[in-house]
């Protein structure tokens, strides 16, 4: 997790195309799926019901990321503020 965050930060600070969106999306995805499925339900990773749950949540998560990226493009001065972005991430983690 730490190594991935360091790589994301390096990519972010190199000002590559879509660096902000990649950083925000990868953090949101790793927090949501990492915590919800791989940390809390590690013992059930071999169960079919868990993989069905992961597949069912993918469209909702993709929609969440699309809205987050759209918001970032539409309101760039708002989405780059840490307080707002952390609130958006907290919504994803709490659901």
Give yes or no for residue 92 having a pLDDT over 70. no
Is the model's pTM score more than 0.75? Answer: no
User: Quick one: pLDDT at residue 95?
Assistant: 55
Mean pLDDT across the stretch 41-49? 82
SS3 (DSSP) at 57? helix
Give yes or no for residue 87 having a pLDDT over 80. no
Which pairs count as long-range contacts for 70-75, CB under 8 Å and 24+ apart, including other chains? 72/20, 72/21, 72/24
Mean pLDDT value across the chain: 77
């Amino acid at each position: 997790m730490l190594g991935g965050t360091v790589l994301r930060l390096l990519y972010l600070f190199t000002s590559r195309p879509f660096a902000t969106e990649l950083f925000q999306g990868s953090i949101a995805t790793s927090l949501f799926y990492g915590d919800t499925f791989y940390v809390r339900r590690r013992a059930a990773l071999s169960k079919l019901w868990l993989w069905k749950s992961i597949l069912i949540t993918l469209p909702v998560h993709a929609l969440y990321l699309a809205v987050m990226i759209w918001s970032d493009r539409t309101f760039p001065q708002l989405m780059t503020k840490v307080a707002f972005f952390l609130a958006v991430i907290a919504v994803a983690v709490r659901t």
